[in-house]
């Protein structure tokens, strides 16, 4: 069974997979040639749903929507997440500039439900949803409250710049949660709703907490914001939330944890919030967000957004962060259930990054951070006979080749002597650079600043011999991958060889790296 059910007057989400074909059918049925007509059809569809569900509240709900219901309830049985995708797809379809884009990425119901569950531990208070859309996050937030009816009636503020979306959210939430005949509850929820720009200087309605999925887009420099150098909308939203609220739950790109331009946002959170939990999600093999392309029955398997869910409770006293979480779709439920167990105390990196570590790697990180030498300190600017080539688009590993690799994105490092090169080769073919990159960045590319900062352990009597072994293994471990019509070479050594480099680089027993390299960190954890 999937979708939304109603038990004893309470709406309840029943775990469901996203149905792209259903969304496509609805979008086709509601699409019109103009913005105004499309919005009118949409509101009529929402009206049909809420009136069919709540005839006792038909009059006030239609007063909010300001339309008569459609003859057919097209969105009957859809989850609130699917309803949201329908609306976003309709808007995208009206914009010819974006129609040919790759599609819309949305927060699915299970991710919204997970966010709401994190919020359920907050003390009682008034919640604001400043980018509510049609109400996806707020719907799930209401569902986890001890008294969802009272929450929707008295403790929820909806804000959006889009009046059509805002009207839809009020109607859908009221229909699913309010008491029988609670006409005053509909009026109260609608009275608190605001059509406005959350970033304007206008004072916000009085509230305690915020649940947030802000827009992800470049923006102009905004005066009055510490995060103005980032010129990213989501940074502005999170900063305002942190300055005006006592706690929040937000889903954003994970880029704020590492990129230098977000240093000001990290500072705002550090000094404005008592602490928090940050859960970080990779975009492969599965992804927190889902992709939907209008007219297709398939969902995208990947997108370029590595997401972070930041939970700042007023009861928090310190910061904790997960590693970058990876899972396959079959383990998605297990991932949501078990990922909080991977939170560990925040560590700050060499450039102010919030480090993303497995709990078992903190000791190794402390050792590496204390080493005096890095890749940068051991390289020279001029060309020499002693070089290594490093691919700069890692996914599941990082290596350094003695040969010049034929590939587009690479860094060639030069060294003053064979001995120094060999020492760095052993380090860069161990797990150290991959651990370092995943902790400090973990995005699409390996930034030069991260590569240059990789610590290099001291040489031993085994270093030269291991370097020759690595060099001899390159021929058999050379890989090629077609990218943008060009063959890109790299060297992928077997894990057994990497483990021997780890044993050389770390004092005592080398840390276990199985989860660092795993494509599914949650396999086998289903109950």
Reduced to 3 states (helix: H, G, I; strand: E, B; else coil), residue 135 is coil
Residue among 112, 26, 89 nearest 289 (CA): 112
Are the C-beta atoms of residues 276 and 336 closer than 8 Å to each other?
no
Cα 341-79-64 angle, rounded to 5 deg: 120
Determine whether 14 is exposed, middle or buried from the number of CB atoms within 10 Å of its CB (0-12, 13-18, 19+).
Answer: exposed
Instruction: Say how far apart CA 126 and CA 206 lie, in whole Å.
Output: 8
Are the C-beta atoms of residues 400 and 430 closer than 8 Å to each other?
no
Are the C-beta atoms of residues 516 and 361 closer than 8 Å to each other?
yes
Q: Which pTM was predicted?
A: 0.94
Instruction: For the chain, list the domains and their CATH numbers.
Output: 3-198+206-347 (3.40.50.150), 360-517 (no CATH)
pLDDT score at 105: 58
User: Residue 505: which H helix or E strand, with range?
Assistant: helix 495-505
pLDDT values of the chain reduced to their tens digit, one per residue, 527 residues:
234 454 544 454 444 567 888 999 999 999 998 999 999 999 999 999 999 999 999 999 999 999 999 999 999 999 999 999 999 999 888 765 544 433 445 789 999 999 999 999 999 999 999 999 999 999 999 999 999 999 999 999 999 999 999 999 999 999 999 999 999 999 999 999 999 999 999 999 999 999 999 999 999 999 999 999 999 999 999 999 999 999 999 999 999 999 999 999 999 999 999 999 999 999 999 999 876 656 544 444 445 689 999 999 999 999 999 999 999 999 999 999 999 999 999 999 999 999 999 999 999 999 999 999 999 999 999 999 999 999 999 989 999 999 999 999 999 999 999 999 999 999 999 999 999 999 999 999 999 999 999 999 999 999 999 999 999 999 999 999 887 778 899 999 999 999 999 999 999 999 999 999 999 999 987 44
pLDDT score at 100: 40
Helix 163-177, helix 136-143: angle, nearest 10: 20
User: Residue 158: which H helix or E strand, with range?
Assistant: strand 156-160
Are the C-beta atoms of residues 284 and 442 closer than 8 Å to each other?
no
Q: Which residues contact 431 (CB under 8 A, 6 or more apart)?
A: 498, 501, 502, 513, 516, 517
DSSP state of 417: S
Instruction: Say how far apart CA 157 and CA 211 lie, in whole Å.
Output: 10
pLDDT score at 343: 98
pLDDT score at 485: 76
Phi and psi torsions of 262, nearest 5°: -100, 15
pLDDT score at 304: 62
Q: Which two tokens stand for residue 168?
A: 């839809």
């Amino acid at each position: 069974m999937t979708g939304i059910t109603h038990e004893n007057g309470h709406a309840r989400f029943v775990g469901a997979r996203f149905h792209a074909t259903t969304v496509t059918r609805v979008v086709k049925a509601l699409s019109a040639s103009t913005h105004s007509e499309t919005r009118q059809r949409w509101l009529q569809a929402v009206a049909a749903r809420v009136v069919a569900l709540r005839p006792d509240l038909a009059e006030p709900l239609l007063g909010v929507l300001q339309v008569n219901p459609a003859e057919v309830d097209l969105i009957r049985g859809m989850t609130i997440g699917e309803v949201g995708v329908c609306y976003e797809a309709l808007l995208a379809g009206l914009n010819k500039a974006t129609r040919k884009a790759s599609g819309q990425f949305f927060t699915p119901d299970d991710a919204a439900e997970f966010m709401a569950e994190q919020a359920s531990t907050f003390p009682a208070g008034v919640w604001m949803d400043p980018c509510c859309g049609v109400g996806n996050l707020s719907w799930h937030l209401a569902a986890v409250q001890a008294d969802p009816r009272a929450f929707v009636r008295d403790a929820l503020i909806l804000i959006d710049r889009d009046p059509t979306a805002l009207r839809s959210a009020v109607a859908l939430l009221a229909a699913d949660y309010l008491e029988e005949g609670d006409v005053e509850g509909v009026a109260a929820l609608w009275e608190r709703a605001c059509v406005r720009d959350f970033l304007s200087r206008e004072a916000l309605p009085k509230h305690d907490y915020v649940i947030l999925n802000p827009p992800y887009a470049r923006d102009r420099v905004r005066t009055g914001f510490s995060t103005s150098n980032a010129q990213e909308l989501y940074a502005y939203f999170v900063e305002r939330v942190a300055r005006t609220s006592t706690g929040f739950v937000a889903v954003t790109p994970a880029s704020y944890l590492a990129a230098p331009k977000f240093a000001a946002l990290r500072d705002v959170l550090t000094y404005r919030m008592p602490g928090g939990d940050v859960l970080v999600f990779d975009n492969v093999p599965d992804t927190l967000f889902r992709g939907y392309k209008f007219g297709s029955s398939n969902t995208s398997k990947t997108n370029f957004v590595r997401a972070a869910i930041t939970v700042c409770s007023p009861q928090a006293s310190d910061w904790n962060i997960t590693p970058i979480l990876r899972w396959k779709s079959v383990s998605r439920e297990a991932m949501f259930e078990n990922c909080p167990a991977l939170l560990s105390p925040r560590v700050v990196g060499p450039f102010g990054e919030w480090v993303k570590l497995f709990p078992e790697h903190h000791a190794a990180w402390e050792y590496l951070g204390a080493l005096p030498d890095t890749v940068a300190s051991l390289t020279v600017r001029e060309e020499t006979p002693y070089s290594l080539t490093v691919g700069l688009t890692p996914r599941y590993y990082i290596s350094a080749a003695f040969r010049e690799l034929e590939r587009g994105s690479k860094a060639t490092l030069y060294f003053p002597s064979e001995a120094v090169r060999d020492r760095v080769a052993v380090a860069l073919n161990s797990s150290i650079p991959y651990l370092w990159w995943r902790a400090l960045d973990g995005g699409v590319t390996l930034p030069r600043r991260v590569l240059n900062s990789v610590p290099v352990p001291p040489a031993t009597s085994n270093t030269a011999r291991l370097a020759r072994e690595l060099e001899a293994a390159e021929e058999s471990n050379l890989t090629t991958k077609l990218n943008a019509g060009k063959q890109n070479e790299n060297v992928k050594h077997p894990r057994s060889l990497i483990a021997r480099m780890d044993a050389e680089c770390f004092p005592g027993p080398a840390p276990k790296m199985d989860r660092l390299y795993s494509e599914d960190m949650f396999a086998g954890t289903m109950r």
